[in-house]
Structure 1
């Protein structure tokens, strides 16, 4: 009288992951439909840092079966506490601790990715039309959030290590801004990474001018040996943002915001206004991955793949100026004269390769943007397509814009 039950694929349930380097083999899909790619047909997509590994299929299947085997699943479908479930916040604190930042679960809010965490922070920390200081190159999500609030962005000069302390001090004095957004580890797009001394210098400026630091550390988990986060050096004034997108899987849309205790309720109100709360099923999968070692396994795999792909880019662009990091999911390439970034990006798309011009990262719409482009090396697409895309880009650089225009005509 209990109805009919269907067994999952395979004769037995997957075993728990005993260590971070073993994966159970996946049972084949029975009649499963093909997953449709969002990429433009015929175009090699090198404009998004979207990590993707072949292990995802087996890992997600195992995790979903583990969740399904539990009792009381209905709690995953109801409203959660605005700050996030205690178990999810505890797992996040454990994961963030890998960076050297000790943070209590009570200081954490679980968000729908780093983009939402950034929106929450800007909404809570800056009044409309107030000035927020940002790096002279900063990724597009910052621009979008600034327009939504809206806030003014004040571009602060950078060097090979990232944000310059002297330029930050001058901008704070000139504008009266009290908030600075900085990406100190594998900066997007330049891949610049601050030394410990540079981080200490930035903190000293923030204390001298009473600034709140928003630290974007989405790529920090991929660096094996790294300096302490700014939040570890100045916990009293730093809002720390991280996510599972670049170190686990982007489609999970799980991020974390850690802040001084006095600010948590303000951020909770901001999150509630934006989305009431966030889906808990994805958060449960991330919790499982953190606790059973899957997350650490994925980070190791992504590190290895990133190192291989950075080496491929270095070979493809030999003789040119390229900035990269062995753990980076992208490289930053300087175009030789007479190339201009938008012209090169447009002509690269004509060659079937989509990349990002540096103009996508310029917050102040300067008339003469630097002649650089960002090229994604993320694990999707595969290595063969990446090699083909890099070869097409190098060929276009070597031929030059005038040759390319005549060929189009």
Structure 2
């Protein structure tokens, strides 16, 4: 057992990254030689004054770098370093029909930490459209995109339409996915120092990205029906945010959907405090929800974003934002400044997928596959407290005592399954605990893999910590 006690007082970045980098440096220098056992997570966390989750993430990162190996019941040991040794995160080739798919999951792990569209053979339709575009527009492949054809906006208006509502094509901006759409709105209409409201758990990559350009996060409580209006008004009164990012339908990761009355209250508060709204309908467009969109209730201040990643293909990077028309030009310019510009090939591909009907056909088949996998979830996790909705490719499951979110994620990793703990979705530092994890079911290549991965998670849930001792 080593008495290794790293000094984290220097360096930058998150503590888990600094801890992993320090361990890597000590392994390279020989201070941690091959075969040396690292301290148990709980012991090291106590000794250096961090959480056990921080140490767990650092050890996980070291395994991904190919520097250590963890064995249940024995501990974590430094691996022998060989000049020609293959990395721990090795490319995995998986066959899907007649094509070959490149998966970036660590070798031997099942990926339940993604909610991208399942592989249902959409590559054939995409390949055909790509071939046609290349043939019809050879000149566009050799230059930058300088024009935005009307049909790109028409496609966005079609894709963002639901329940009889259709946004005005004149306010549509094509984007490199939903993340780029949201960041473009933030960059265009806020300034460094502005507060942006996020639900307490949400797609937190946006908060981190906005933080890089100087925007501050203000977190609002959530419950079983989504964002809490009373807490939203408190935050508006105290911090005077410029903007709020919300997911009213099938919120990620809680799967919550706001009822109409709550949406109306949110709009009332936003108007009273002059807060702009970004409405992420990426999952909402997949859900069976007839509740009016925020953009229908407050068209003058709402930016509706959506894309193809969850229902058609994440690799296409197809996205659109429907803006109040007087903001459209500013958002388009911001998108160009942030991304370098919209590639003709991807914009045209996204538009043709939608306008040809191929995207809706793929979505229908993808949702059929998602629902078949959700049926497996119902059987595999029967008796546990989890939230799920038809068509939505993830669940939000409560962990039984004594599991903590980060510890369960680590145990799942050791057992061969990648999932997301609650910290992945927190928009900022928080002492609030949900004791839940998100399990995505769209990435495994087959239903058999879904069944196998869920069986592993079920075993961990059933056995509790008594069946898991990660680092001795």
Question: Taking structure 1 as the reference length, what is the TM-score of the superposition?
Answer: 0.87
Q: Which residue of structure 1 lines up, in the alignment, with residue 110 of structure 2?
A: 44
Structure 1 residue 185 corresponds to structure 2 residue 237: no
Q: Deviations over 1:179-230 (max 9, x none)?
A: 1110011101001112222222211221222211111111122124432221
Q: Structure 2: which 5+ runs fail to align? A: 1-96
Q: Deviations over 1:273-294 (max 9, x none)?
A: 2134111112222222212211
How many angstroms apart in 2 are the aligned matches of 1:204 and 1:115? 26
- The equivalent residue for 1:20 is none
Query: 5 Å matches for 1:349-368?
Result: 349-368=413-432
- Say if 1:257 and 1:77 are closer, same or farther in 2 by CA, change over 3 A: farther
> Which residue does the alignment assign to 2:139?
74
Q: Which residue pairs with 1:54 in the alignment? A: 120
Change in CA separation of 1:304 and 1:64 when aligned onto 2, cut-off 3 Å: same
Query: Where does residue 261 of structure 2 map in the other structure?
Result: 197
Indicate how the Cα distance of structure 1 residues 193 and 77 shifts in structure 2: closer, same or farther if over 3 A, else same. farther
Q: 2:230 matched to which residue of 1?
A: 166
Q: Which runs of 5+ in 1 are unaligned?
A: 1-27
Supply the distance in 2 between the matched residues of 1:171 and 1:206 (Cα, whole angstroms).
Answer: 11
Contact 1:52 1:379 in 2 (8 A): yes
In 2, Cα distance between equivalents of 1:298 and 1:380: 18
Shift in Å at residue 235 of structure 1? 0.5
Q: Under a length normalisation based on structure 2, what TM-score does the superposition of the two structures give?
A: 0.76
Secondary structure class of the residue paired with 1:288:
helix
Distance of 1:76 and 1:229 partners within structure 2: 37
Secondary structure in structure 1 of the residue aligned to 2:173:
strand
Per-residue deviation, residues 154-202 of structure 1 (Å, max 9, x unmatched): 1111111101111111110111113111001110100111222222221
8 Å Cα contact 2:248-2:280 kept in structure 1: yes
The answer to whether the Cα contact below 8 Å between 1:100 and 1:228 also exists between their aligned partners in 2 is no
Alpha carbons of 1:403 and 1:55: their partners in 2 closer, same or farther (altered >3 Å)?
closer
Who is 1:325 aligned against?
389
Distance 1:379 1:108 in 2: 30
Matches within 5 A, 1:276-295: 276-295=340-359
Q: Cα gap change, 1:346/1:246 in structure 2, threshold over 3 Å: closer, same or farther? A: same
- State the 1:112 CA deviation: 0.5
* SS in structure 2 of the partner of residue 36 of structure 1: strand
Distance 2:272 2:317 in 1: 36
User: 1:77 deviation in Å?
Assistant: 4.2
**Higher mean C-alpha displacement, 362-371 vs 227-236:** 362-371
Asked if 1:151 is matched to 2:212, the reply is no
CA distance in 2: counterparts of 1:76 and 1:227, whole angstroms: 42
> Shift of the alpha carbon at 1:125?
2.0
Give the number of equivalent residue pairs. 376
Q: CA RMSD in A?
A: 1.9
Q: State the SS of the aligned residue for 2:102.
A: coil
Contact in 2 for aligned 1:51/1:380 (Cα 8 Å): no
Corresponding residue for 1:301? 365
Q: Residue by residue, what CA displacement relative to the aligned partner does 1:229-261 show, whole Å, maximum 9, x if unpaired? A: 211211101011111111210000111111111
Number of the residue aligned with 1:8: none
Quick check: 137-146 or 335-344, which moved more?
Answer: 137-146
Distance 1:99 1:65, change over 3 A: farther
CA distance in 2, matches of 1:292, 1:170: 46
Cα distance in 2, alignment partners of residues 67 and 266 from structure 1: 29
Question: In structure 2, how many angstroms separate the alpha carbons of the residues matched to 1:172 and 1:251?
Answer: 37
Deviations 1:50-89 (A, max 9, x none): 212332132123223332443x43135432247x432211
**2:398 match:** 334
